[in-house]
Structure formats: C-alpha cells, structure tokens
Amino acid sequence: MARVTFLKRLITRWTVWEYMPWWVANIPVYSFWLWYALRSRHIFFFSNVNPAIPLGGAVGESKSDILRLLPDPIVPKWMLVLPGQSPEQVRTQLEKTGISFPLIAKPDVGERGFLVKKLSSPEELFAHLDRWQAPFILQEFLIHPFEASVLFHRFPGPEGRFSITSVCLKEFMSVRGDGRSNIRALMAADTRSAFQLKRFEKEFPEVLEAVPAAGETILLEPIGNHARGTKFLNGNGIIDEQMLAAFEPLCSRIHGVQYARFDLKYESLEGLRRGEFKTMELNGVLGEPAHVYDPTHGMWRAYRDLWRHWRLLFELHRAQKKQGFHPTPMSEALKIIKEYFAYKKRLGE
C-alpha cells in the first residue's frame, strides 16, 4: 500500500486551500477586516453585532455563558467544572446533571478544537482535568449520527431580515479495512488522515496496530473539527423556506446575538430542516462560513464567500449602531485579547 510521502504532504499543505496553515489562508481575510475597520473607524467594529457576548464572540468568550443564552430544547446536558474541584464534587455534579460516560470535555475558553477530548471513564476525565488547570465544560456525548455547522444572521427590529448563509455538513475521518493492513498503514495511504498520523501516534498508539477486516469502516475521529481530519462539505443546497421558518424562532430567542454559527448534531436532514438538533457550541462573529472548506469549493469561491460575510458583518454593525449598540471600547477590547493570550500561554506551559 502506497504511503502519502512527506513531499506530497508538504506540497499539499502549502498549495491546497483547505490544508493551508490558517494564518496563511487568512491573509486576504485580514484585508477584508482592515477595509471595513477603516470604513467604520473602529478596528473591532463587529463587536456590537453580538452585544450579549464580549467582543461579539471574536476571542476569549466563555462557552458556558453562551450556552446559557440558548433555548433549552436545543441544548444538551452540560456542566462547568472549575479548577480545584475534587473528584467527589465532579462525580456528584455529573450525577445531578445526568451525564454519563463517554462524555466530551472542552475548555470553557478556546477555539479550533483546542483541548477538546472524548473521555470514556472517570480515570481519563480526572487525569485530563488534573493536567489542564482551567475551567472545563463537560457535555453529554451526543449519539446523533450527523454533525453540521449552520451560520445565521438577523437584522435588528421586529421586521429585521433573517437568513441562513452557510450550512456545512461534516464527514468524520475514518478508514476502510482491506483485511491485511493495519490502521497506521491505512492512514498513511490517505492524504487527509496522513496529516493526523503524528497526533494518533502520540495520543492513540494502540489504535494504529489494529487490522480491520476487509470492507470494515473504522471511525477514527468522533469530533467534527477540520483540524482533526473531518471533511467539510457544502450543504447550502438544503437551505429552503422550511429550514428558515424552523430556525428563525429559535434564533430570535437568543437575545443579543445577531450573527452566529451553530455547531450541532442531528438525526436526519429532514429533522434538521425542521429545527430538530442539539447544539454543541455557538460561535460568534468570527464563526466562519465553514462550507468554504469543501474540497470542491475552491480557493477563489471561498474568498468570495468570506468577503460577502465580512460585508454582512459591516452591515449588521451599522444597523446595530442605529439601535444604540456601539463597538467595544478599544481599551476594553485590548484587555480581553491580552487576557486570552495569557491564558493560552499559561496552558501551553
């Protein structure tokens, strides 16, 4: 079985849009930001779009605070664990909340799958919490078979326009057995999973030696994050009047949030169109239209769509300003950013 060579991975990393380092892929996006910042005369002009979330949800926002904003029917069971809580306190809280193993642990502040992990036992959980001294959300592991991201916006006022501008359907990373090769070899032969092999060697070395039966599909990553090998697919074709009618009343109940992206799980596309889903996270103003990472979408169409969304943020900013909502003062914004980077540095150390 042929391996994806280091050279091929290197070329792919720097030439294929969906695999580029995020800071390289976003170089044109910085110019979009700068253009609208100059027009609005505020570098953080977008911060008034979601006044219920500090800095609009651009950086350093608390996931638990956002979950509290959501309507109960679309929120899974979850709890917040603070550093210093004893295992007995955490166990009691888990029982009261009704969360069983496996569960998902994620830092209350973080992005791009940072320290998100599926944990299958109390021993794994307490080792994880002990290693990373930060507030963590523990969330029930949703057994819904499908995952998606849905980006919506609504203009202020009773007659404000509502729309869904991006649906991203997610395909979890997996390998298909041939009866001879182990998972390490199967991953090494596929470009997408080859990028994840080093992480698996560090975190799940025992998994790599298993030999799946011929035709057997092995799910490798249950967390639908692009940085973890999940394939993002353009699902904009499912947006219709039924979906808009189902999502609008739900989104109107999220007060102080005019632009956001649901990361959610669902049972079927028909159910999703009816607004039947559970929210894992709600991302604020920098929640990307994730459909742009579809391998068939292409770089130029991706930048076109990103430009449209930055223009939309600017329009929402102006509409919010007319309603009396002003961007976060510069000193306060810089304080939020400084605290966030200090937090990331502390965890990194």
Residue 349 reports pLDDT greater than 60: no
Domain boundary among 91, 125, 141: 141
pLDDT digits (tens, 9 = 90+) for 69-116: 999 999 999 999 999 899 999 999 999 999 999 999 999 997 777 788
The residue ranking higher by pLDDT, 159 or 16, is: 16
Confidence of residue 5 (pLDDT cuts 50, 70, 90): confident
pLDDT at 65: 96
Confidence of residue 305 (pLDDT cuts 50, 70, 90): very high
Is 330 a domain residue? Answer: no
Residue 158 reports pLDDT greater than 80: no
Domain identity same for 52 and 149: yes
Is 55 a domain residue? Answer: yes
Domain identity same for 258 and 154: yes
Confidence of residue 261 (pLDDT cuts 50, 70, 90): very high
Question: For residue 115, what is the domain's CATH number?
Answer: 3.30.1490.20
Domain identity same for 155 and 116: no
Residue 243 reports pLDDT greater than 70: yes
Domain identity same for 81 and 121: yes
pLDDT at 133: 87
Domain identity same for 161 and 255: yes
Confidence of residue 16 (pLDDT cuts 50, 70, 90): confident
Confidence of residue 123 (pLDDT cuts 50, 70, 90): very high
Domain identity same for 117 and 250: no
Domain identity same for 306 and 257: yes
Is 290 a domain residue? Answer: yes
Is 346 a domain residue? Answer: no
pLDDT at 116: 86
Domain identity same for 162 and 182: no
Confidence of residue 265 (pLDDT cuts 50, 70, 90): very high
Is 348 a domain residue? Answer: no
The domain in which residue 208 lies consists of 176-220
Domain identity same for 159 and 272: yes
pLDDT digits (tens, 9 = 90+) for 306-322: 999 999 999 999 999 99
Is 333 a domain residue? Answer: no
Residue 191 reports pLDDT greater than 70: yes
Domain boundary among 157, 187, 220: 220
Domain identity same for 41 and 94: no
User: What string of H, E and C letters represents the secondary structure of the chain?
Assistant: CCCCCHHHHHHHHHHCHHHCCHHHHCHHHHHHHHHHHHHHCCCCHHHHCCCCCHHHHCCCCCHHHHHCCCCHHHCCCEEEECCCCCHHHHHHHHHHHCCCCCEEEEECCCCCCCCCEEECCHHHHHHHHHHCCCCEEEEECCCCCEEEEEEEEECCCCCCCEEEEEEEEEECCEEECCCCCCHHHHHHCCHHHHCCHHHHHHHCCCHHHCCCCCCCEEECCCCCCHHHCCEEEECHHHCCHHHHHHHHHHHHCCCCCCEEEEEEEECCHHHHHCCCCEEEEEECCCCCCHHHHCCCCCHHHHHHHHHHHHHHHHHHHHHHHHCCCCCCCHHHHHHHHHHHHHHHHHHHC
Confidence of residue 1 (pLDDT cuts 50, 70, 90): low
For the chain, how many structural domains are there in total? Answer: 3
